């Protein structure tokens, strides 16, 4: 059975582009991927995969390939699908997070919303305080 991960990755990417949002992917960073480890934080790396940021983007069924620049040096990256942790739109912080292969039991992915976002946003409004309902007797 084919994994749904590459199909969901492509569909969220297309939704981002069609909506005018910037698509970002998060990956598990490791030295054997050919990415500079000094750019990784907490074993993760976030890539802007918009048309303006990368060249020759191909989201295949087995890997994600693109040319990116690191400190002015161009590199061709081939990221296996199993290191991709999620994809989201930067502007609205919506997307999809994938479970690790070891955590997959039923092949389900988790849809993330603004609350579960990878990039923190500064709050524009403080949360409203909840009030207890008041009842009064009318005679």
Domains and CATH numbers, the chain: 5-116 (2.30.30.220)
Instruction: Tell which wins on pLDDT, 139 or 113.
Output: 139
Judged against a pLDDT cut of 50, whether residue 105 lies above it is answered with no
pLDDT tier, 13 (very low <50, low <70, confident <90, very high otherwise): very high
Whole-number Å distance between alpha carbons of 34 and 68 = 11
pLDDT at position 130: 65
Given a contact cutoff of 8 angstroms between Cβ atoms, the answer to whether 109 and 5 are in contact is: yes
Whole-number Å distance between alpha carbons of 62 and 29 = 17
Beta strands (DSSP E) in 23-127 are 23-28, 44-48, 55-59, 63-70, 73-80, 84-89, 94-97, 110-112
Share of the chain above pLDDT 90, in %: 50
Whole-number Å distance between alpha carbons of 80 and 68 = 16
Judged against a pLDDT cut of 80, whether residue 83 lies above it is answered with yes
Quick check: helix, strand or coil at residue 46?
A: strand
Instruction: Tell which wins on pLDDT, 124 or 66.
Output: 66
pLDDT tier, 107 (very low <50, low <70, confident <90, very high otherwise): very low
Quick one: which of 107, 88, 87 has its CA closest to 4?
107
Residues 56-74 pLDDT 10s: 999 999 999 999 888 888 8
Query: Global pTM?
Result: 0.69
């Amino acid at each position: 059975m084919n994994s749904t991960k590459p199909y969901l990755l492509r569909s969220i990417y297309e939704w981002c582009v069609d909506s005018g949002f910037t698509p970002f992917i998060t990956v598990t960073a490791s030295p054997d991927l050919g990415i500079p480890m000094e750019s990784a934080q907490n074993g993760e790396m976030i890539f802007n995969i918009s048309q303006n940021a990368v060249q020759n983007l191909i989201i295949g069924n087995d890997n994600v390939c693109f040319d990116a620049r690191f400190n002015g040096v161009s590199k061709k990256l081939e990221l296996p699908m199993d290191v991709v942790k999620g994809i989201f739109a930067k502007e609205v912080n919506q997307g999809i997070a994938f479970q690790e292969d070891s955590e997959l039991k039923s092949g389900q992915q988790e849809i993330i919303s603004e609350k579960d976002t990878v990039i923190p946003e500064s709050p524009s409004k403080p949360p409203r305080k909840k009030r207890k309902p008041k009842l009064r007797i009318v005679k």
